[in-house]
Amino acid sequence: KVVIVTGLVVQCCLFCVFTGFYHFLSIGSTCSPNEYRSAYGECCPMCNPGSVVHSDCSEDVSTTCKPCPPGTFVNEPNGLHLCFTCKHCAESQGLYIQSKCTTIKNTICDVLDGYYCIDYSNSQCRHAEKHRVCRPGQETKTPGTKASDTECVDCAPGFYSPSGLNCTKWTDCAARNRIQTEGGSPEKDVTCELKPKERYSLVDLIAASFAEFYRSFFSEVQKANNGKWTHNLF
């Protein structure tokens, strides 16, 4: 009796093992590339891009699909029950819409002019920031791009940049026959003025020019008046 009972127990155990193994194989087996496995373990036909599963297939009925609503998409055959939400390109994040979202394609964002990307996801920019503006006393070493920020560098000694664009050499007052009255800085050029003698000579020249103009003007007026007086006598 002990032998018979033991044999029955062994047979039951083997049956359970083989049954469980068969069930594992059936669940673990893969569906074909154009199918998905439903919650009930069935291999069902996938829905086309732009649509998702409305109801899974059964032995008698194929998969029922429904289109993605506006603002959502699915870009490949699928067994999903919900569509993906379209990406939003926010100007506040330095982005604009390069290509609008459709039911089969997500929105494509690009970086606004004057911005560079600081956060990527799947080769798409998610957030961009404004390019740095070089301060006075600096110049632009490398202009900013959509992928990198502007690189600034300080002006070398003897150069200045009032706006932060390009560094310019201080003016050579002596080369212009002037005298330097105020030194330069990284933000400001030197100040040059005429030499004292030249300054007075220029003032004298201007005064002489005005004197000659008035002399000629009044001479012509006097001649005109004398002509009128002679004409009245005759």
Say which CATH number the domain at 185 has: 2.10.50.10
**pLDDT value of position 2:** 41
Q: Are residues 53 and 97 in the same domain?
A: no
Of 207 and 32, more confident: 32
Confidence check: pLDDT of 231 > 50? no
Total-model pTM = 0.59
* Least confident stretch, 22-31, 51-60, 146-155, 193-202: 22-31
Structure tokens at 106: 């997500």
**pLDDT value of position 38:** 95
Torsion angle defined by CA atoms of residues 143, 149, 154 and 160, in that order, rounded to the nearest 10 degrees: 40
Residue 20 lies in a domain: no
Which residues, 6 or more positions from 84, have their beta carbon under 8 angstroms from its beta carbon? Answer: 72, 73, 74, 106
Structure tokens at 21: 């193994």
Percent of the chain at pLDDT > 70 equals 77
The residue with tokens 């002037």 is: 178
Residue 24 lies in a domain: no
Q: Are residues 113 and 144 in the same domain?
A: no
Q: Are residues 153 and 177 in the same domain?
A: yes
**pLDDT value of position 5:** 41
For residue 111, what are the domain limits? 87-130
Which residues, 6 or more positions from 155, have their beta carbon under 8 angstroms from its beta carbon? Answer: 137, 138, 139, 161, 167, 186
Residue 121 lies in a domain: yes
Confidence check: pLDDT of 20 > 90? no
Mean pLDDT of the region 126-144: 96
**pLDDT value of position 158:** 96
pLDDT band at 227 (very low <50, low <70, confident <90, very high): low
Taking the alpha carbons at both ends of the chain, their separation in whole angstroms is: 175
Tally of CB atoms within 10 A around 180: 15
The pLDDT tens digits for 173-218 are 999 999 999 999 999 999 999 988 655 556 667 777 777 777 777 6
Confidence check: pLDDT of 142 > 50? yes
Residue 221 lies in a domain: no
Confidence check: pLDDT of 225 > 90? no
Mean pLDDT of the region 19-30: 50
Residues 124 and 109 sit within 8 Å (Cβ to Cβ):
yes
Structural domain total, the chain: 3
